[in-house]
């Protein structure tokens, strides 16, 4: 028996005594973070918002096994936020769609959640009308034309059913109840409401695909209502990606249990708390990057050089050499070498000790 088959569905209940300590810790961390961000300048807040939103889009998609191009995601967000930053690249339609959905939920968090809004998010997620090679119903509830919606794993003939969604004929009424609850101000703690909304939506599973991503964005929308700001400075999806196995395990366990969702909410609040704690590292990187560009504001650099430096500041994987420079900046090896030598002459880059074929370059500590 699944949770939605219980007699009193969806009358969830939980143990406040278990949840209040971790809820209090999460609310305290939220308040401290928002206070910290209000104390820094607008440009740094914008940069932090860009980094967090980029991570959120990337990691929420990764949870479902979809890998997006980080540079495209960052560029799409920057353009839609009107940020004038270097190294922007063109973005694919599917990337722009995920970004548009995310920004609509966060920036317009005060607007109600409606069927039309959910349909527009779903259409943005699947602009081609397909999930991979499979044609799906887009911007409408699933129809179960090929049988019940199931989450399964394992080889053919030995499949394990993790979850079977409610019948398609129930979706209209189920979603009306859900949206009415979500849009109504009630007595539920607003942070708990984010966790309940996540579980409730993904249990209804109203679409052919994209339910997990939309469930997480609905939770983000509710958290934006809690923070009462149109920017994001922490990413729950990034933390969920790190804990993907336990995320799916607790979802499956909850969806196969009764209406007591204490264990799910405890996991969600703990994950939220860990995401808030992890934000310090991201913000430190933003401040580090901002300090570099502030100090070197008057040094002339071309777009290729700015692109490479930003990648070094964000944690370049491996060692930078002239061939990697040329590949990333999409230029000839000769142009890459000239750019590198120019940055060395300006004390921005320095050559590492190993030479010859192993010649590589790092940011000069004196440039900070």
| pLDDT averaged per 10 residues in sequence order, the chain, 368 residues | 96 97 96 87 86 95 95 95 86 97 98 98 96 94 90 83 94 98 91 98 97 98 96 96 97 97 98 93 78 87 92 86 93 96 95 76 83
Nearest Cα neighbor of 123 from 35, 43, 209, 29 is: 209
| Whole-angstrom distance, CA of residue 250 vs CA of residue 228 | 29
To 10 degrees, the CA torsion angle through 165, 167, 173, 177? -20
Q: Where in the chain is the domain with CATH 1.10.10.10?
A: 301-367
Question: How many whole angstroms separate alpha carbon 75 and alpha carbon 86?
Answer: 9
- Rounded Cα distance between 39 and 105, Å, is 25
Phi, psi of 258 (to 5 degrees): -90, -165
Q: How far apart are CA 126 and CA 128, in angstroms?
A: 6
Q: What is the pLDDT of residue 58?
A: 97
φ, ψ for residue 363, nearest 5 deg = -70, 135
pTM attached to this predicted model: 0.84
Question: In the chain, which segments carry CATH 1.10.3290.10?
Answer: 3-289
Query: Mind spelling out the 3-state secondary structure of the chain?
Result: CCHHHCCCCCCCECCHHHHHHHHHHHHHHHHHHHHHHHCCCHHHHHHHHHHHHHHHHHHHHHHCCCCCCHHHHHHHHHHHHCCCCCCCCCCCHHHHHHHHHHHHHHHCCCCCCCHHHHHHHHHHHCCCCEECCEECCCCCCCCCCCCCCEEEECCCCCCEEEEECCCHHHHHHHHHHHHHHHHCCCCCCHHHHHHHHHHHHHHHCCCCCCHHHHHHHHHHHHHHHHHCCCCCCCCHHHHHHHCHHHHHHHHHHHHCCCCECHHHHHHHHHHHHHHHHHHHHHHHHHHHHHHHHHHCCCCCCCHHHHHHHHHHHCCCCCCECHHHHHHHHCCCHHHHHHHHHHHHHCCCEEECCCCHHHCCEEECHHHC
What distance, in Å, lies between the first and last C-alpha atoms of the chain? 60
| Mutual angle of helices 70-81 and 93-107, in 10-degree steps | 50
CA distances from 24 to 86, 191, 266 (A): 40, 10, 12
My answer on whether omega of the bond before 10 falls inside 30° of 0, hence cis, is yes
Instruction: Note the pLDDT of residue 159.
Output: 83
The CATH number corresponding to 301-367 among 3.50.50.60, 3.40.50.720, 1.10.10.10, 3.30.590.10 equals 1.10.10.10
Distance separating alpha carbons of residues 177 and 73, to the nearest angstrom: 34
Q: In the block, which residue shows the tokens 């366990």?
A: 253
Q: Nearest to residue 128, comparing CAs of 140, 136, 119?
A: 136
Query: Measured between alpha carbons, how far is 190 from 223 in angstroms, rounded to an integer?
Result: 8
Residue 70's nearest CA partner among 87, 84, 46 is 87
Please check whether residue 21 is in contact with residue 271, taking contact to mean a CB–CB distance below 8 angstroms: no
The yes or no reply on domain 3-289 and CATH 1.10.10.10 is no
- What pLDDT shows up at residue 127? 95
């Amino acid at each position: 028996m699944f949770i939605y088959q219980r007699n009193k569905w969806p009358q969830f209940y939980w143990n406040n005594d278990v949840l209040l300590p971790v809820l209090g810790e999460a609310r305290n961390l939220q308040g401290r973070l928002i206070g910290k961000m209000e104390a820094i300048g607008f440009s740094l807040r914008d940069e932090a918002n860009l980094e967090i939103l980029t991570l959120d889009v990337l990691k929420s998609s990764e949870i479902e096994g979809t890998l997006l191009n980080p540079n495209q995601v960052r560029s799409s967000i920057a353009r839609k936020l009107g940020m004038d930053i270097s190294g922007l690249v063109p973005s694919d339609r599917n990337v722009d769609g995920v970004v548009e959905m995310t920004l609509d939920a966060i920036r317009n968090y005060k607007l109600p959640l409606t069927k039309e809004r959910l349909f527009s998010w779903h259409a943005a997620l699947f602009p081609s009308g397909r999930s991979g090679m499979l044609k799906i119903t887009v911007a409408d509830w699933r129809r179960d034309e090929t049988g019940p919606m199931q989450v399964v794993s394992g080889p053919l003939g030995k499949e394990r059913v993790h979850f079977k969604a409610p019948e398609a004929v129930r979706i209209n009424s189920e979603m009306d109840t859900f949206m009415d609850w979500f849009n109504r101000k009630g007595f539920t703690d607003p942070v708990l409401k984010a966790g309940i909304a996540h579980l409730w939506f993904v249990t209804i599973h109203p679409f052919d695909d994209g339910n997990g991503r939309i469930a997480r964005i609905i939770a983000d929308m509710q958290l934006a209502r809690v923070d009462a700001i149109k920017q994001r400075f922490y990413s729950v999806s990034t933390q969920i990606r790190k804990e993907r196995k336990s995320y799916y395990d607790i979802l499956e366990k909850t969806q196969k249990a009764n209406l007591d969702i204490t264990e799910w909410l405890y996991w969600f609040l703990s994950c939220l708390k860990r995401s808030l704690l992890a934000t310090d590292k991201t913000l430190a990187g933003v401040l580090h990057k901002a300090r570099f560009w502030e100090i070197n504001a008057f040094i002339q650099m071309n777009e290729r050089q700015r692109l490479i430096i930003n990648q070094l500041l964000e944690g370049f994987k491996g060692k930078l050499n002239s061939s990697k420079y040329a590949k990333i900046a999409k230029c000839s090896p000769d142009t890459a070498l000239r750019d590198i030598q120019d940055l060395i002459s300006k004390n921005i880059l320095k050559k590492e000790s190993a030479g010859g074929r192993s010649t590589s370059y790092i940011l000069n500590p004196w440039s900070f």
